[in-house]
Amino acid sequence: MADQSYEDQGEPTSEPDERWFQELPGLLHAYAAARREARIADPNGPAADIDTKQAPSPAMLSYLREAARHPGRATRVISEIERILAEGPTDEVLLQLADAGISPERLHASDQADPAEHFNRMLPHLQRFVADGEKAVQAPPQTRWEWKERFSDLGSLLGGQFYMYWQDDYDHEGALTEFIEALGSDTDWAGTILQNIADVRAITSSEKSLEHAFRMLGFYGYPPKGTSWKQWLARIEERLREYVRDNS
């Protein structure tokens, strides 16, 4: 589906979402991904999830790059953090966190700072980001979370169709065919995936970097025999363009 603003869009047409924490899970997933991937890259390296007064952490920078693409996200998460800090760990807060899929360990940074300290280190950077007009220096995604946030529609194809055991059921073309048939008449979604493909191509200049993109977006396996990653991406694009042409 296409990018959209997180700001209110007029009167609701259905029951309002009463969950307290709708944006906080995304922020904490960004931190968990940065923490995990930094440890894998260098177990003895600096932590990627600890903000200081002087500088945002790599995790915060990852989140802000995506928040800049969706105005309103940072404002929402600020209000959710402020609610936690104001109310403390009451039973209702803990219940709402659990309903949002936030486990207690996600509330701590890698230095084991308590949740209040962890959130208070985040807040100035989020507030400054909003005050400065929700702008961030853009860069290629740095974590799996960021790849999936930025290219969620292409990730739905690659991660959803080419899952761990997909080769037990299909060949490459068969997997693509099933996905395209399931689109029905949704040429808009296909168009968004095509835009994701163009954007991925723009930030992957080598076979190695393109393979990394495929992996980060959930693709298991390799391109068809004798086909490069660039050729495989071009084939996916070709199939989607044929579908859009035939259904427009």
pLDDT digits 0-9 by tens, 9-31: 444 445 556 789 999 999 999 99
| Stretch 142-155: mean pLDDT | 96
200 has pLDDT over 60? yes
Q: Which residues 6+ apart lie within 8 Å of 47 measured at CB? A: 35, 38, 57, 109, 110, 111
Tell me the per-residue pLDDT of 224-238, one tens digit each, with 9 for 90 and over.
999 999 999 999 999
At residue 105 the predicted structure's pLDDT band, cuts being 50, 70 and 90, is confident
User: Is pLDDT at 38 greater than 60 in this prediction?
Assistant: yes
**Whether residue 83 has pLDDT greater than 90:** yes
If you average pLDDT over residues 100-117, what whole number do you get? 91
d(CA 188, CA 104): 39
Residue 156 is predicted with a pLDDT of 95
Q: How far does CA 91 lie from the centroid of its chain? A: 30
